[in-house]
Amino acid sequence: MKQIVCHEPGTFRRVEVPAPTRRPGCALVRIRRIGICGTDIHAFHGRQPYFTYPRVLGHELAGEILDIAPEDANAPHIQPGALVSVIPYLHCGECAACRAGRTNCCSRLQVLGVHTDGGMAEILSVPVTHLFPAAGLGPDQAAVIEPLAIGAHAVRRSEISSGQTALVIGAGPIGLGVMAFAKRRGARVVAMDISEERLEAARRFVAVDAVVNSGALAAEGAGDPISAVQARLAALTDGRMPEVVFDATGNAASMAQAVHYPGHGGKLVYVGLVNGDVALPDPEFHKRELTLLSSRNATREDFNTVYTAIRDGGVDVGRYVTHHIAFDDVPEAFLAVTRPEARAIKAVIEA
């Protein structure tokens, strides 16, 4: 079968390898769609934590069940030919986090496409426990359950409630998911980014309540850009400031500055991951008595939240997936489709 390997930073290779055989407790899945995310881009450029080479990338996966043991095909939508999304977080089931139901941050977690080979292949062996039935969805929709579930998990973790204001910093694919599910919980959502194109995507995909172009604010005046953002947020919230701030940038400077934006007694949720340290201004952090949370991956509960939203028409994947490339074209097309000038929100590989 065909497989695409990131042999080293900056290099993809198409290779032929034997197709996997079905192991006990696993199903063979014929991959149909592979979403491209920031993890893949950082890995390609050599900037991804927890990463070694060579590696088969791909963890945003939709496919059809090719082969499954009769004893595992115990539900109408877990049968040969059924469309599934893959839950790529392979947890141990034994550590304290797993026993507490927090499989997304298992102490021995192996993520497909990061710690172990992923789905840039024609066929993938997947534990039956990590198949998520996607009945009623199309392949694009099934593939993006995973990235949207990361946003849904962050929102659930924040415990934001109806009527509160959420500031989401970073209007990329993950930030858009945070916005969408904060909005579905009844929050007033403010999107912040340095790109007007990304902010326009937030308007189209989520119908956010307000936008803040922090790049434009910084360029408009000679004053402190943090103070300019604070003034804009104060005007948008009648001086209260947002109850919850989500940073989905994966940028250390942005993550440090985000401490300045929640209201007193508020929460700051780090959704993006940076390969390095984040130095927080402690006086700002303490005077607000902030709650600081990290949010990692997602659980089956979050997959179900996203699946239901897409199936019922609450999330329009057609506005989220903007680019497609063919599987065989990945080595040549990956760099072009992931450059800023491509203006991709979410690109998917058709396999």
Task: Find the Cα–Cα–Cα–Cα dihedral 170, 173, 174, 175, rounded to 10°.
Answer: 30
**If DSSP codes are grouped into helix, strand and coil, which group holds residue 308?**
helix
Question: Which two structure tokens, joined as six digits, stand for 57?
Answer: 């990338």
Mean pLDDT (the chain, rounded): 95
Q: Is the pLDDT of residue 47 over 90?
A: no
Q: How confident is the model at residue 241 (pLDDT cuts 50, 70, 90)?
A: very high
* Residue 195, Cβ density class (10 Å: 0-12 exposed, 13-18 middle, ≥19 buried): middle
CA distance 39 to 23: 28
Sketch the domain layout of the chain as residue ranges.
2-144+320-350, 151-294
Beta bridge partners of 166: 189, 244
Residue of 177 and 46 predicted with greater confidence: 177
* Domain 2-144+320-350 class in CATH: alpha beta
pLDDT at position 222: 59
CA atoms within 13 A on the CB side of 350: 7
Enumerate residues 6+ apart whose C-beta is below 8 A from 61: 29, 31, 33, 34, 35, 85, 86, 88, 112, 118, 119, 124, 143, 146
Give per-residue pLDDT as tens, 99-144. Answer: 999 999 999 999 999 999 999 999 999 999 999 999 999 999 999 9
Instruction: Give the integer Cα–Cα distance in Å for 256 and 247.
Output: 10
- Architecture category of domain 151-294 in CATH: 3-Layer(aba) Sandwich (3.40)
Six-digit token string for 139: 């392949």
User: Rounded mean pLDDT of 7-28?
Assistant: 95
